[in-house]
Amino acid sequence: MKHIVKKSITVALIFVFLILSLIGCGTSTPQKKGDDGTDTETLKISTDNTEKPMKLKLLGPTNANRYIKFEEREEYPVWQELEKLIEKYNLELEYEIVPREQYGVVIQTRMASASNLPDIANLYGIDDITALNFAQQKIIVELNSLINKYSNGNIKSMQEKNFPFATKLTTAPDGNRYWFTNLHTTTHKLDDNSRAPTNYGLTMIIRKDWLVTLGIGIPANAEEYLNALKAMRVQDVNNNGVTDEILIYNISSFDGAIAQWFGLGTGMTAIDLESNKVVSPWYQPGIKEYFMYLNKLVKEGLIDTSLVSATPEREAQALSENRVASLHDYGTQSYREAMVQGAKAEYLPLMPLSAVEGITPKAQLEPPNLVWQKYVITKACKDIKAAITFFDMVHSEEYGSLLLNGIEGLTFAVVDGDRYSLENTSWEERAKTRRIAGNVLYGDTVFPRIQVAHGTKLRETAEEKAAVEEKLNKIRSEKSLVFNAENESPEYKLSYIENITKYKPFFYNFNSNFFAISSKEQVDERRKLGANLDTYANELAINLALGRASLDDWDKNMKELKELGLDDIIKLEQQLHDRYNSIK
């Protein structure tokens, strides 16, 4: 089979940048057990070698990994397996891969001029409204009827089985779909071997080693948290002779977990999924107490006001200087510890802390279901059946396993029905050994990421863990593989994972997963309302936290927020959420 790559040399033009979109699909390979142990549906795949291969031209950006490069793909076993799958689906693919930093200009120019189009394109960097304009101009094609006519069933099957949210997020206001997307979902195994979605917790993490040094217990409420930070600062716990131990926290918005301790949503607006209502922290109980608390942290010198609008580089510098007592991040992160110089730092994730009597603290979670990127069939495509066949392949379990797990015995092993990575060396080292899954090599290029991460139990017993480790270590030993057990989560982070997954109530950290695609009119309205409102709200939040604005002027400030369109935005987003829920 012939696979051709053309490197694109491009000219610069302005282009529309970034937004995430959506669609779901997929299915199974013949007579194969799924990850949950159930039989997957047998679907017909065209494997008649007497048929002439169906040809397609694909356009996309280079992959993002600096060590593992798409142009070297032929040297990777996982690519060789993907080529077998491509041949199985009777496809012959030609790739035009453009450097990622140039791709936005290339795709915007090509699509806007409707010239030199491939059959399938990755619309990296193009937003929903621009993409819908391309659909209106018939530069990209409608997908619903084509899937119904040409699909072997994979797309619909995978969507229904693993990504039921995708149709809601990829259906345009006219009821049609115009793009496929990357799809990701994460689950974990329950004691009865059924599966549940795994939410990622974002929270305040605090220096566990400093708590131990000072003999302070884990804070149980907001006041104890403040006192712990104060003690770290007063007692110079980092031993540098300066009272410089700080909390890094964004006081300009509500997307830090302290706001949720006061029962508040995670942005200008948030979705209360229990009531399916769009709410705003500005109208919620606990809002005044929240700003009073932030003002107290500022007065104690605990929040470094110079880092209110800090760049990641400045935050990294404060971490490397061993000054950061606490900050907002994923509860299971480990990279923050590695950034601290001259100390063996440990950041403990905190569960939501009580802050106001009568208000149950909420957790902040990232959804387990993710959608991003757009992959379209253009008007240049002469063989629509071939294009739909490509996406049928992408929505197969065989493709998904190669993408996420790689090759059994090379990059992963199956122990007691679950999949485990065989090594966790650096990307630089894996580029040398070629032992990788497909995701890092070809995901987000011309190949979508359709991936179902079936995790194990959130907490395994010591006996279960030891039994699995014994089997895995034997496999690793036989293959002379390196696995650094120190990279695994410590006990206190495992406890956090287990507890936060069960915790209620919560807000998700962004709304887009629960909004249908906006119409042009809705986007225009949001832009018109948003600019002045966002600026005013951010400045008000900062001034209230710093004490520059008074809570005595609350009614006046709320009147200004309303006049700038806060209620109109809540109404608009409620319409999008209601339409999301109405899509079947």
CA distance linking residue 104 with residue 373, whole number of Å: 13
- Those residues whose C-beta lies under 8 Å from the C-beta of residue 95, and which sit 6 or more positions away, are 3, 4, 5, 6, 58, 60, 445, 446
Q: Which residue has the higher pLDDT, 23 or 336?
A: 336
Q: What is the pLDDT of residue 504?
A: 94
Coil vs helix vs strand at 115: coil
Instruction: Outline where DSSP puts E strands in 439-520.
Output: 450-457, 506-508
Those residues with Cβ within 8 angstroms of residue 251's Cβ, 6 or more apart along the chain or in another chain: 294, 298, 303, 308, 541, 542, 545, 546
**How confident is the model at residue 572, as a pLDDT?**
95
- Identify the CA nearest to 112 among candidates 84, 83, 133: 133
CA distances from 203 to 216, 494, 528 (A): 20, 14, 33
pLDDT of residue 125: 93
Q: Which residue spans within 462-508 are E strands per DSSP?
A: 506-508
| Cβ-proximal residues to 491 (8 Å cutoff; 6+ apart), any chain | none
Length of the chain: 584
Q: Mean pLDDT, to the nearest integer, of 120-135? A: 96
Residue 423 has pLDDT above 80, yes or no: yes
Backbone angles phi, psi at 215, to 5 degrees: 70, 30
Residue 117: is its pLDDT beyond 70? yes
Name residue 447's beta-bridge partners: 443
Domain boundaries, the chain: 4-195+370-409, 518-582
- Please report which confidence band the pLDDT of residue 45 belongs to, taking 50, 70 and 90 as the band edges: very low
Q: What span, in angstroms and rounded, lies between the C-alpha atoms of 469 and 447? A: 34
Please state, in angstroms and rounded to a whole number, the distance separating the CA atoms of residues 122 and 386: 17
H/E segment holding residue 336: helix 335-339
Q: How far apart are CA 1 and CA 250, in angstroms?
A: 53
CA-only gyration radius of the chain, Å: 26
On the question of pLDDT at 31 being above 50, the answer is: no
- pLDDT at residue number 195: 87
Sign of CA dihedral 114, 118, 119, 124: negative
Residue 3 amino acid letter = H
CA distance 489 to 497: 10
Residue identified by tokens 């496929």 is: 180
The model's pLDDT over 441-475, given as tens digits with 9 standing for 90+, comes to 999 999 999 999 988 888 888 888 889 989 998 99
- Structure token pair of residue 100: 């990622």
Q: Check residue 196 and give its pLDDT.
A: 85
> Which amino acid type is present at position 89?
Y
- The 10s digit of each residue's pLDDT in 470-515 is 999 899 998 888 777 655 678 899 899 889 988 999 999 988 889 9
- Indicate if the pLDDT at residue 571 is higher than 90: yes
Q: Which residue has the higher pLDDT, 221 or 51?
A: 221
Given this structure, which CATH class describes domain 4-195+370-409?
alpha beta
Judge if the upstream peptide bond of residue 505 is cis by omega within 30 degrees of 0: yes
64 or 376, higher pLDDT: 376
Residue 350 · residue 52 · CB < 8 Å = no
The pLDDT score that the predictor gives to residue 21 is 30
Give residue-wise pLDDT tens across range 183-208.
Answer: 999 988 888 888 888 888 999 999 99
Mean pLDDT of the 507-528 span: 90
Q: Locate 562 and state its tokens.
A: 């309303």
Mean pLDDT on 17-21: 27
Residue 310 pLDDT class (50, 70, 90 cuts): low
CA distance readout (Å), 464 to 33, 140, 470:
23, 51, 10
Q: For the segment 224-234, what is each residue's pLDDT rounded down to a tens digit? A: 999 999 999 99
Residues 456/418, Cβ–Cβ less than 8 Å: yes
Contact in structure between 262 and 296 (CB atoms under 8 Å) = no
Q: Give the distance, in angstroms, between the CA of residue 460 and the centroid of all CA atoms in the same chain.
A: 26
Q: Look at residue 368 and tell me whether its pLDDT is greater than 60.
A: yes
Q: Is residue 376 pLDDT above 90, yes or no?
A: yes
Residue 373 region, left (φ>0) first, then alpha (ψ -120 to 50), else beta? Answer: left
Residue 46 has pLDDT above 70, yes or no: no
Residues 6 or more apart in contact with residue 305 via CB below 8 angstroms: 298, 546
Percent of the chain with pLDDT over 70: 90
Local confidence band at 309 (pLDDT 50, 70, 90 cut-offs): low
DSSP state string for 405-418: T--BTTTEEEETTE
Residue 126 has pLDDT above 70, yes or no: yes
- Is pLDDT of 10 > 80? no
30 phi/psi in degrees, rounded to 5: -60, 130
Write out pLDDT tens, residues 226-282: 999 999 999 999 999 999 999 999 999 999 999 999 999 999 999 999 999 999 999
Give the rounded percent of residues in the chain with a pLDDT score beyond 90: 73
| Ramachandran angles phi, psi of 451, nearest 5° | -140, 135
Q: Please, are residues 374 and 123 in contact by the beta-carbon 8 Å criterion?
A: yes
